């Protein structure tokens, strides 16, 4: 299908070279053989990052944008230099605009800003595990720092109060990823249980192997995003469950993997209910596993039910 839509470039000239971008005037051939003129703004690309702390607060920047003639609220962003690694670029921009360094930077999205006329590609990230530092802006750069909760930013996007496209994408995708942890883990645990229940000769199927790889990637990502759930019971409970499952996977104890996955595969969906139901459900789900293997693996989970247990205990 893509080959049938492809436009072949016949010639390219650059009537304008600027500091930020160049302009190319091209002659292209359409799929039916017709020749047309194409005008392209050539840009080296950009990076942006949604810095979010463990309380769900996002650091935003407010600045004047000359192109639209108004002040906008955006996530920190900057221009890629030619050939620059986007990950290194976003570390630099995060430090310059906010003073922050981050323990972890997670890719969220790759955005084509305006693909009909603009070659710019924007790499969008989420940063967590933030550490404060001194802001050091570029010469001639003026902006103000603001902090908003992620849920508030989602409401602002939906109300039309945030109009910057890359910022809208980062906010909505981050919110969807975090909200989807429960359902995603339910799917992951179910697949793990199914996969390790199969005879070993059936597990070599390429599609199953690819599914397993994606499942493990999501489980590791979910563990990194758990602190953003901002829930005093669910975060450490799931963290404990995931850690034990990953330990069993590393050890290759297939019997224990299947048994544990069977015990926890419905826990994420149950956690969308209220606290009392969740605790009752979990105790019932884990009873069979405990009878077989003892309470060693889940002792910390039960301690979390005590009212004096502080949030964040598993973040060390």
Please indicate, yes or no, whether residues 164 and 82 belong to a single structural domain of this protein.
yes
pLDDT for position 229:
64
For tokens 């810095």, name the residue.
51
Most confident of 114-128, 203-217, 262-276: 114-128
Count how many domains the chain has.
3
- State residue 304's pLDDT score: 45
121: how many CB neighbours lie within 10 A of its CB?
Answer: 17
Over residues 38-55, mean pLDDT: 94
Q: Residue 77 and residue 230: Cα distance in Å, rounded?
A: 26
**3-state SS class at 311:** coil
Same domain, 33 and 110: no
Same domain, 140 and 184: no
Per-residue pLDDT of 201-252, as tens digits, reads 888 888 888 888 888 888 888 877 776 765 545 566 677 778 778 888 888 8
Task: Judge contact between 245 and 190, C-beta under 8 A.
Answer: no
- Could you tell me if 127 and 196 lie in one domain? no
32 pLDDT above the threshold of 80: yes
Pick the catalytic residue: 2, 139, 201, 207?
139
| Same domain (yes/no): 149, 214 | no
Name which residue leads in pLDDT, 150 or 304. Answer: 150
Average pLDDT taken over every residue of the chain: 82
Q: Are residues 163 and 195 in the same domain?
A: no
pLDDT of 76 > 90? The answer is yes
Positive or negative torsion for Cα 165, 171, 176, 177 = positive
Catalytic residue list contains 139: yes
- Per-residue pLDDT at 316 exceeds 80: no
Are 30 and 57 within 8 A, CB to CB? Answer: no
């Amino acid at each position: 299908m893509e080959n049938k839509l492809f436009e072949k470039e016949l010639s390219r000239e650059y009537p304008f070279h600027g500091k930020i971008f160049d302009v190319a005037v091209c002659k292209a051939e359409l799929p039916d053989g017709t020749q047309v003129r194409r005008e392209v703004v050539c840009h080296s690309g950009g990076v942006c990052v949604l810095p979010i702390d463990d309380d769900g607060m996002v650091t935003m920047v407010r600045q004047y944008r000359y192109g639209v003639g108004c002040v906008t609220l955006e996530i920190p962003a900057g221009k890629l230099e030619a050939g620059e690694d986007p990950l290194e670029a976003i570390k630099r921009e995060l430090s310059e605009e906010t003073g922050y360094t981050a323990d972890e930077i997670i890719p969220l999205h790759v955005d084509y800003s305006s693909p009909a006329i603009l070659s710019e590609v924007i790499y969008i990230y989420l940063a967590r595990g933030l550490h404060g530092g001194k802001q050091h802006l570029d010469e001639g750069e003026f902006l103000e720092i603001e902090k908003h909760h992620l849920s508030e930013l989602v409401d602002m996007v939906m109300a039309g109060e945030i109009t910057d496209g890359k910022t809208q994408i980062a906010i909505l995708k981050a919110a969807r990823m975090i909200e989807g942890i429960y359902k995603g883990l339910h799917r992951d645990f179910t697949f793990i249980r199914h996969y390790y229940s199969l005879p070993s000769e059936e597990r070599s199927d390429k599609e199953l192997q690819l599914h397993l790889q994606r499942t493990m990637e999501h489980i590791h990502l979910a563990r990194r995003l758990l602190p953003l759930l901002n829930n005093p019971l669910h975060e450490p409970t799931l963290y404990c469950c995931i850690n034990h499952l990953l330990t069993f996977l590393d050890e290759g104890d297939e019997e224990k993997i299947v048994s544990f996955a069977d015990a926890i595969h419905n826990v994420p969906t149950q956690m969308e209910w209220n606290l009392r139901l969740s605790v009752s459900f979990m105790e019932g789900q884990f009873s069979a596993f405990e009878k077989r293997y003892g309470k060693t693996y889940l002792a910390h989970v039960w301690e979390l039910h005590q009212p004096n247990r502080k949030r964040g205990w598993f973040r060390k």
